[in-house]
Copies of this chain bind each other. A is one copy, B any other.
């Protein structure tokens, strides 16, 4: 960050500015953005002006700033996330219509499970997940699936670090986590009761692309003691359908 006139440091600054926005904080002043991004006030104001000018941020009547529709458009238009999500949606809708609980699609991103999509019905139960939100790999059912099929380098990295307890039943013991990952690969699914929320059980399966590589996890969030077999059956069929759609879609 030393040389503020070079292109890459401006890029970093833009990322830091965008990172100050969240689901809980969708509107900010330029001064607040500067404080939260640890940027000098004049730099923050100048950079926010440039981002508003480019349409990546938008300013409202009260001079507050939010994420611009143009950024959303540029991010989605050519993105792998959108292609995967489009291929997955009809199958996710099918799962959701039968199971009637939160149905979710997640990918591995920077050592966490990043949620691309969530379908819910008004009567679905508790769920901490948000679209474009993240959960730790060792704690969520989606994360456990993604971790099970990740590189051994990533697995070793996660296993070497402290496994943070999210709920009473989060796996926090490295040996148990290692065994769980072996089980996921053997069974082709995971059932994770109470690892994120005491009242829920996550059930997840891997989603493979046409070449057989695991590229995502498909999951449902059930009430803690609900039977899991119908959900597993639906998820497995959906993952097979997505794989076939991705194979057909390849160019």
A38 CB–B CB distance under 8 Å: no
**Contact A13:B7 (CB < 8 A) given known A114-B69, A132-B76:** yes
A10 to B43, CA, bound (A): 14
In residues 1-31 of chain A, which contact B (Cβ within 8 Å)?
A: 4-8, 10-15, 18-19, 21-23, 25-26
Which one of B67, B77, B79, B133 contacts A79 once the chains associate, using CB atoms below 8 Å? B67
Whether A73 pairs with B132 at a CB distance below 8 angstroms is yes
Q: Which residues of B contact A114 (CB under 8 A)?
A: 69, 73
Q: Which of A48-64 touch B at CB < 8 Å? A: 49-51, 53-56
In A72-109, the 8 Å CB interface with B consists of: 72-83, 86, 89-90, 93, 107, 109
Known: A77-B133, A93-B119. 20 other contacts (CB 8 A): A4-B7, A7-B13, A8-B50, A8-B53, A11-B51, A11-B54, A18-B75, A26-B80, A66-B78, A67-B78, A67-B80, A69-B79, A69-B109, A69-B114, A72-B75, A73-B114, A74-B75, A75-B75, A90-B122, A93-B93
